[in-house]
Amino acid sequence: MLIGYARTSTAEQEAGLDAQERDLRAAGCEKIYAERVSSVAADRARLAEALRFVRSGDVLVVTKPDRLARSTADLLSIVTDLEKRGVALLVLSMGGQPVDTRGATGKLLLTMLAAIAAFERDLMLERQREGISAAKAAGKYKGRAPTARAKASEVLALHAQGVAVAEIARRLNIGTASAFRILRGSRSS
């Protein structure tokens, strides 16, 4: 049985999730697990479900390795776990050719391509840090705009109305820690 897994990091990437699901259906996946969650910041509940669901002889299908794994080590760990259980991995978008771990060549290619992807990401992050450093030196870098502090008056108003901090955070789409920080700051002023 072919089982698909699709993931995007944010709700704004809805088209990307739809495209992944389309590609997985076109590849013949009978069941697809999809989620909108950062691979780094949160549990990937649907991935965990997919990994629990697959059985010996099944193939887990993803469009790209970065949709499945956080790092090369994470990818190899997932592949090793799948192999132990008799499950193969098929990655659809790898330079125009799918990579299938049912063969030795596919395993080798997947490992090499995952390492190259990790290397490219490290290079991108390094260039980003260099760009930020240069922008700071030129006085042009302001950082990310504070989202919660801009809503301080709304936090205080809702709190004054007796709304619970968790509810304030939910309504204003900010973290509960940010809401508490604003409330603490208002008490010390």
- Return the active site residues: 9
What is the amino acid identity at position 37? V
What is the amino acid identity at position 162? G
Tokens 């697809």 correspond to what residue? 32
Tokens 């991935």 correspond to what residue? 47
Report residue 102: phi and psi, to 5°. -70, -15
Residues 6+ apart with CB under 8 A from 24: 4, 5, 6, 32, 61, 62, 63, 92
What is the amino acid identity at position 103? G
> How far is residue 76's CA from residue 108's CA, in Å, rounded to a whole number?
11
Please check whether residue 93 is in contact with residue 64, taking contact to mean a CB–CB distance below 8 angstroms.
yes
> How far is residue 62's CA from residue 39's CA, in Å, rounded to a whole number?
14
For 52, which DSSP code?
H
> How far is residue 77's CA from residue 133's CA, in Å, rounded to a whole number?
35
3-state SS, residue 21: helix
